[in-house]
Amino acid sequence: MLTELRIGLAASDEAARMLKALGDPLLAFCARDPQTRMIVKRAPKGFYGRLDSRAVPEFLELLPVTPGTGVKLFRLKPDVVPL
């Protein structure tokens, strides 16, 4: 949970490095989740804030999900993430 907070609050480039350090993670983002709302409120220009404003960084690839769930699923593009 602490890692998620750090990633959500971080700038996009730093969030990319933290996600890459986890290996090959999938990222589930739900803008309606109370913890997500708290992170966005705390750092509106952070990684979660940008995702909330529909600014998807180039290092993420959107994956298909069931429509209407409110969840967006992403994976890292291996050739774009800085180390």
Q: Would residue 64 count as lying in a domain?
A: yes
Q: How many domains does the chain have?
A: 1
The residue segments making up the domain with residue 8 are: 2-76
pLDDT digits (tens, 9 = 90+) for 42-75: 999 999 999 999 999 999 999 999 988 989 999 9
Within a domain: residue 15?
yes
In this model, does residue 38 exceed pLDDT 90? Answer: yes
pTM of the model: 0.89
Task: Classify residue 35: in a domain, yes or no.
Answer: yes
Q: Is residue 50 a contact partner of residue 12, using CB atoms and an 8 Å limit?
A: yes
- Looking at the domain assignment, is residue 60 inside a domain? yes
Whether 83 is in a domain gets the answer no
